[in-house]
Structure 1
Amino acid sequence: MQALAAGAPLAAILALMLGWHWSAAKAGSVGLALALAIALLVFGFGEAVLPDLGPARAVGFSVAEAAFTAATILWIVFPALCLYEAQERAGAFGAIRGALARISDDPRTLALLVGYFFALFMEGAAGFGTPVALAAPLLVSLGFSPLKAVALALIGHAAGVSFGAVGTPIIAQAEITGVDAGAIAVRTAAMHAVAGIVLVLFLLRLAADGPLRRIDWGLALLAAACFFGPSLALAALAGPEVPTLGGALVGLLLFAPIARRIAPRGSAPGAEAMDLRALARAVLPYGVLLALILATRLLPPVQEGLRAIALAWTLEGGFSGRFEPLYHPGTLLMVGFLVGVAAHGGGLRDVLAAMGAAARRLVPVVAALFAMLAISRIMVHAGMIGTLAQAAAGIGPLWPVAAPAVGVLGTFVTGSATASNILLSEFQAATARALALDVTPMLAAQSFGAAVGNIVCPHNIIAGGATVGLAGREGPVMRLTASACLAYALAGGLIALAFVR
């Protein structure tokens, strides 16, 4: 009975978002009210659980923890959106997209260049829906139907979502579970590296008008190796911030010259000369960001000096928070944003314009993020997550096979891999402990599933479809992407099972 009550807030969010098409913020608010009522009335939060605090302080401390964690995550989202707005206004994305399209005019190669590498790069740099919104219109301009364009972008960027927006989903996992972010990053990257060829083959098959050719299998293996090899190495060396951003950048530099030589070609991809200076200005902020992240993660003296400055607090009952402003990826993103504005000859007016636009886009994110975090913290501290974990442990040693599906469900419901991780990581960790399994692979399975959930996430499909005139036709897009999601989640479950044995 308690397990049913503990799961009611999550079930309510699922029903409201899928059945009644509520936003994450509205559904999260109802879920929060329900979680609070169940925590107090069924689980005795502040009385039977943490009796020394009392209900008011127990709830207040949970809300404080949620608000603090939300602020640290928003400090990544805001500068990422600032950078995106500045680059969009300066025409930087046009230079990047134009350079990619000149490498080949073969549709399958273009699908890899734009729907895969470009979308992955944008996921690593900005995340939060921008890859599909940017890649889909470009794919349409290159000759793909709007339906295919959205589906290609959804499938192509999915493997990078675990480390999207400079590692936000895994950083959030580490914040709320206390497990080292670097350890989660390595296991997650390894899972994607093993299974990643599945998504690439789905992407090429969708881009093709007929069956895959022998050259397509070679291109798929090449593209997968070029991204997942550097991505896994960066996860091991530097942590969760750069595997997608750096992997896409390095992978593209490796893939492009080879593809230009071996990919089938029709007519020339364009006669006009490439503006190398414009391209250099366009990629400069990302290069600076990548260099800063690598320097702060790989050089111990720099790392120790930056982490020495911290805002940390602890409250009675195990409530706590910590923010390292100089080491935080959001601060590094802000530097990249300012460099980008300067590279395009902008000034204070351009900085403020980008910040204003970013702030307006941030407003609807705040309520949803806080609601999901508050639900997570209340359910954790009230013992509701532990109760759910004990119930799930009844599945037994085969639970790892189902673990990625939980992450998929979380992203499908919330519209965000970060929100999915916030909502369900404690559940995954508690289930692992109940089954005496290693926690880190189970958190990696959660992150893996949360990433692939973006393939079928209604929010992503709606946003991407809107950019190419597909409003109201989300169902056909989901039908194109559902099989890829199912296959990838199943592959992840089998890999997770192997990791815990």
Structure 2
Amino acid sequence: MIPMMLVKFLLAMLPIIWLIVALSRLKMPSHTACLSALAITAVLALAIWKLSPVNTAAAALEGSLNALWPICLVIVAALFTYNLTLKTGAMEQIKKMLAGISNDKRVLTLIIGWGFGNFMEGMAGFGTAVAIPASMLAGIGMNPINAVVACLVVNSTPTAFGSVGVPTTVLSTVTDLEHITMAGYIALIQCILTFISPFIMVYIIGGGKKAFKGMLPMLLTASLSFTLPWFFVARYLGPELPDIIGSICSILCMIAASRIFKTDSDKEYLIETSGQGDLKNQKSSSAAKVSITPKEGVKAWAPFILIFILLTLTSTICPPINNLIKPIKSSFLIYPGEGGKPLAFSWINTPGVMIFISAFIGGIIQGAGIADIIGVFCGTLKKYWKTIVTICAVLAIAKIMTYSGMIKDIAEMLVKATGPVYPFVSPLIGVLGAFITGSGTSTCVLFGELQKETAQQLGLNVYWITAANVFGAGIGKMVCPQGIAIGTGAVNEVGSESKVLGAVFKYFIFYALLAGVICLAGSFIFKI
């Protein structure tokens, strides 16, 4: 029995192993690697797991449709928003405004990547927390690969409360565990990595520990101003608001701190703006730094302000509007086999639609004509079709592996092999799910009940172990192909996926191992 379990485990791992080899060793383009992995997955499902051809095709179709709506919708909307700000010149205005806050790359990285990125994760999720901040960081002159890596790393812990708490809410639903209690355990298990994430981000952008020089007050401000409200909101209010309230507090505190604490910058950490030269030569004149009026500033930020307003008004924070538009959806049964459930398409109450509306209105405010907006949209689709193909292929792989039983065989082998040290492995199962699906929510659906049942069998705290699942899911998103594709697409580095994977991998290993140690220590040392 054990040998057969091992054989099936190894066979089920083949698509994952192939993706790792294809991306990191063979340097294949992401869309090619994922399409070939899809073919391998389909063959295995047909030949070994005896999934019928009809069900295999249906599973792939369901995954692709789920990828297109809402995931690719959000990604295209985010990229369209950014490209439109380039077209209207708003991004250059934003760069000037940011230079008015600070001319230090490290400070701007914290404000945009940490503060604004966490806000986007809390409000929208689905890749926006990587796509928009990374594109903004690259747009103000930072190394695009480092920008993507930094955003992928710090997007790990906010995942649990992303999209107004959807992953945690889903986890509570599938495990039948109380959602506020669950949110408190998730905040507890993630608080250490959440606190150190701004330090890691500056380390990445600044090229090592030398980047910490003169930055300790800003780093502590960034960490504490997010982590403290984030923790207490999760503990006492539940999963919907931690990322949102934490990020708003953090952004305001960091802007204030940048006025109080002067960082010790040299040329290496100064940004440049088009036609204005080195900002080091502009310190003597605040007018040289910021030459735009408040009205122009609001105009430049209009799409992002509208994104905040619309996502807030249509979220569960505003029940009257949310309840009005939430029922506007369609459901279709795509997969006819065992375990198949209707696939729901929310036509209005989805982040991508709100982002598109915000971008369109924001573009009009910024002076773009209808022809300009349509042109930018078509150009975005043309430029990023490979990213769309990659994401569709990955979700198709995930659905085939789930319906065929491949995912279950992988997880069960890990449980059997680990026994007493299962708490260390528990977040790693979440890592696996997110690597395949690219989604914290999907990972909770895949493995939530498995984690709960295993915890009960081993006499462990079910809240702690199930919290480890979504903890690991956030970490796994660092290296999932679709997440990397989102990042490279956002910074105009399509084809550089292998570079990003190589750069982010060491941080992924560090986070994954530390997550395992935290979960193990919590179970057996602190008796949580």
TM-score for both structures, normalised by structure 2: 0.74
- Equivalence for 2:268: none
Letter in 1 for 2:360: L
Residues 388 and 18 of structure 1, relative CA distance in 2, 3 Å threshold: same
Q: 2:34 aligns with which of 18, 21, 28?
A: 28
Tell me, yes or no, if structure 1 residue 308 matches structure 2 residue 330: no
Cα shift at 1:366: 2.6
Residues 74 and 290 of structure 1, relative CA distance in 2, 3 Å threshold: same
- Equivalence for 1:6: 12
2:105, 2:68 → 1: CA distance?
42
> 111-120 or 16-25, which moves further after superposition?
111-120
Cα shift at 1:134: 3.6
Residues 192 and 88 of structure 1, relative CA distance in 2, 3 Å threshold: farther
- Equivalence for 1:271: 287
CA contact (8 A) 1:177 1:426 kept: no
Letter in 1 for 2:318: L
Residues 383 and 460 of structure 1, relative CA distance in 2, 3 Å threshold: closer
Per-residue CA deviation, residues 247-276 of structure 1 (Å, 9 max, x unaligned), is 545522221122212224784474334412
> 223-232 or 359-368, which moves further after superposition?
223-232
CA contact (8 A) 1:226 1:251 kept: yes
2:167, 2:54 → 1: CA distance?
24
Residues 283 and 403 of structure 1, relative CA distance in 2, 3 Å threshold: farther
- Equivalence for 1:64: 61
- Equivalence for 1:370: 392
Per-residue CA deviation, residues 333-392 of structure 1 (Å, 9 max, x unaligned), is 122112211220223112202211221234112322222222211211111111111101
Residues 93 and 392 of structure 1, relative CA distance in 2, 3 Å threshold: same
- Equivalence for 2:199: 201
Question: Matched residue of 1:311: which SS?
Answer: strand
Residues 17 and 444 of structure 1, relative CA distance in 2, 3 Å threshold: same
CA contact (8 A) 2:424 2:517 kept: yes
2:101, 2:254 → 1: CA distance?
10
- Equivalence for 1:260: 259
Q: How many residues align?
A: 474
Q: CA RMSD in A?
A: 4.3
Cα shift at 1:488: 3.0
Q: 1:383 aligns with which of 399, 405, 412?
A: 405
Letter in 1 for 2:287: A
> 457-466 or 55-64, which moves further after superposition?
457-466
Question: Matched residue of 1:59: which SS?
Answer: helix
Q: Which runs of 5+ in 1 are unaligned?
A: 46-54, 141-145
CA contact (8 A) 1:311 1:323 kept: yes
- Equivalence for 1:76: 74
Question: Matched residue of 2:155: which SS?
Answer: helix
Letter in 2 for 1:79: A
Q: Which runs of 5+ in 2 are unaligned?
A: 1-6, 266-282, 457-461
Q: 2:419 aligns with which of 385, 396, 401?
A: 396
1:173, 1:13 → 2: CA distance?
28
Tell me, yes or no, if structure 1 residue 284 matches structure 2 residue 288: no
Residues 386 and 344 of structure 1, relative CA distance in 2, 3 Å threshold: same
2:209, 2:56 → 1: CA distance?
57
Cα shift at 1:295: 2.3
- Equivalence for 1:160: 155
Q: 2:446 aligns with which of 426, 440, 446?
A: 426
CA contact (8 A) 2:431 2:475 kept: yes
- Equivalence for 1:49: none
Residues 492 and 61 of structure 1, relative CA distance in 2, 3 Å threshold: same
Question: Matched residue of 2:140: which SS?
Answer: helix
Letter in 2 for 1:450: G
Cα shift at 1:449: 0.8
Per-residue CA deviation, residues 408-452 of structure 1 (Å, 9 max, x unaligned), is 6787x78x944x976897257645544545574243123221244
CA contact (8 A) 1:393 1:435 kept: no
Q: 2:100 aligns with which of 71, 91, 102?
A: 102
Question: Matched residue of 1:271: which SS?
Answer: helix
Tell me, yes or no, if structure 1 residue 443 matches structure 2 residue 474: no
CA contact (8 A) 1:159 1:451 kept: no
